[in-house]
Chains A and B, each alone.
Chain A
Amino acid sequence: AQSVTQLGSHVSVSEGALVLLRCNYSSSVPPYLFWYVQYPNQGLQLLLKYTSAATLVKGINGFEAEFKKSETSFHLTKPSAHMSDAAEYFCAVSSSGGYQKVTFGTGTKLQVIP
């Protein structure tokens, strides 16, 4: 079984401040982990993914995430928020080894305050 928990359904940050979106996972096998972004009235776009290589993963738009096995976490960060980062962010987990069913978290809406 696999699952993800996203802490905080809404997060507000000031423009220029650090963005931290939290994700904890549960998986009985080594996981693949993903972060997706959804802008208003759009589909989901892959931000970054962890697939058992480097634990610090860099994605698009200046985002990065660190896989911490001991904490079962995969938090998403960005050093300086831009207004254009306002969106909903989803963490997702999939089991490695070829079984490709992805389980999504409930999402975190990021608000960026000018």
Chain B
Amino acid sequence: DADVTQTPRNRITKTGKRIMLECSQTKGHDRMYWYRQDPGLGLRLIYYSFDVKDINKGEISDGYSVSRQAQAKFSLSLESAIPNQTALYFCALMATVSQFTYEQYFGPGTRLTVT
């Protein structure tokens, strides 16, 4: 969905390097998420943020950090990349459709390879 953009779309990096994946949105939604996708494991939540001052760890946050620079931007960093962080990374946002209904929209993904 064009409302969520991710950069870069593909990245190859070496073990030990620091890398940042960026996510931005144009719709002004508060809730943003980072997931990683691995074959056979589905999507697993890394971090999520309900606003600029509210950042929470997901189920697999070790080795990752995030920054919510503004409502529209949510960046994921790998402080020292390792090969098992090779995966497809998705940023998502949660849009409130009505009082009790909401939907999650995903960015196009970043394919990260750590050699």
Contacts and interface: CB of A to CB of B under 8 A. Distances in A.
Contacts of B33: 102
A46 interface: yes
Q: Which of B31, B41, B42, B106 has the most CB of A within 10 A?
A: B42
Interface in B69-115: 90, 94, 100-109
Interface residues of B, number: 24
Q: Is the interface of B mostly helix, strand, loop or mixed?
A: strand
Contacts of B105: 46
Contacts of B90: 43-44
A51 B108 contact: no
B34 interface: no
Interface residues of A, number: 20
B106 A43 contact: yes
Contacts of B43: 44, 90, 104
Given A100-B31, A101-B48, A106-B40, A46 B108 contact: no
A105 B104 CA distance: 15
Nearest to B1: A43
Q: State the 5 A-B residue pairs at the shortest beta-carbon distance, nearest first.
A: A106-B42, A104-B43, A43-B106, A44-B106, A104-B42
